[in-house]
Amino acid sequence: MAFSGEGKVWMNGELVDWADARIHIASHVVHYGSAVFEGARCYATPKGSACFRLDAHVRRLVDSARIYRLDYRFGQADLRRAILETIRANQLKACYIRPIIYRGYATLGINPLPCPVDGAVLVWEWDAYLGAEAAEKGVDVRVSSWTRVAPNTFPALAKTSANYASSQLIKMEAVLDGFSEGIALDTAGYLSEGSGQNLFLVRDRTLYTPAVSASILPGITRDSVVTLAREAGYRVREEMLPREMLYTADEAFLVGTAVEIAPLRSVDRIPVGDGKPGPVTREIQRAFFGVIRGEMPDRHGWLTYVYDEEASLREPAPAPLTSEGR
């Protein structure tokens, strides 16, 4: 969806008009991709607007900033409050949330340290990332010719703008070839992830997902799916997965904040299972959408209600994501 061009953006502690949320063309981030960011969602529920796993998203943003030595003067609690404040200021019942921390305007050169560290929070209305029918009918994907980064090149555990140059190549290749998404392999030829989603395969009612060592971003939705699947009695295995498992899986699906849970209908034009979303995928979808829509009990405290003043003042949860935890 195109931006409306209206509303408010939080920038370094102040709410400014959307049209005035600008940076200089000589800002370091424009030339070198020196930024970390997050993607989260706020959902309309029967109890009001609620952000899904807000604390986990803000914690990962702060962790990413630490890896890249982005010493921002606003901490985890400040950013949490800023997100809730921005949603309220825009009077949105449901929205996508994009906080970003970046190197600003001072000088240009590879060394980013002389440049100031700035931040912003954007919110906007955004529907299903892969289309309205993706969750119901599934999507067609291909294995990308682009591999994910090798260990000790870019930090895959950080959600940084620079890493998404690779994602753009994967996405464009897939779309131009008539697919919805691309699945990247790691440098050893094992399954990694989509352009911006984690991958799950189902074989004999066991769920498989690539290990963190396969250059994946350990997604927050991924962690949620692992939790929900185990609660439903399924075995979940996190390990290195060969490419051919894509073609022999009974079911497969992508997960992430933007895509939510999207079944795979085919891979490289080979049907996944019978070419329709399978029963395990459907059960996981029902559990996930039930929580985020406020239709099922929030047993894990994943929802933060935007207009709940106590929730707004509450300090963010200190616990980091586990290795099993986009």
For the annotated catalytic residues, the residue numbers are 159
- Cα(292)–Cα(322) distance, rounded to whole angstroms? 21
Pairing status of strand 139-143 against strand 181-185: parallel
What is the distance between the alpha carbons of residues 211 and 192, in angstroms, rounded to a whole number? 8
The answer to whether residues 79 and 71 touch, using CB atoms and an 8 Å cutoff, is no
Where does 108-163 have alpha helices with state H? 134-137
Which amino acid type is present at position 127?
D
Is residue 69 a contact partner of residue 102, using CB atoms and an 8 Å limit? no
Name the residue with tokens 């329709």. Answer: 276
Q: Which residues contact 217 (CB under 8 A, 6 or more apart)?
A: 156, 157, 159, 163, 193, 198, 326
β-strands 260-267, 139-143 pairing: parallel
Whether the Cβ atoms of residue 137 and residue 272 lie closer than 8 Å to each other: no
Contact 236, 176 (CB under 8 A): no
DSSP designation for 162: G
Cβ of 232: how many Cβ atoms within 10 Å? 13
The alpha-helical segments, DSSP class H, found in 91-203 are 134-137, 164-176
Considering only CA atoms, which of 193, 186, 34, 197 is closest in space to residue 104? 34
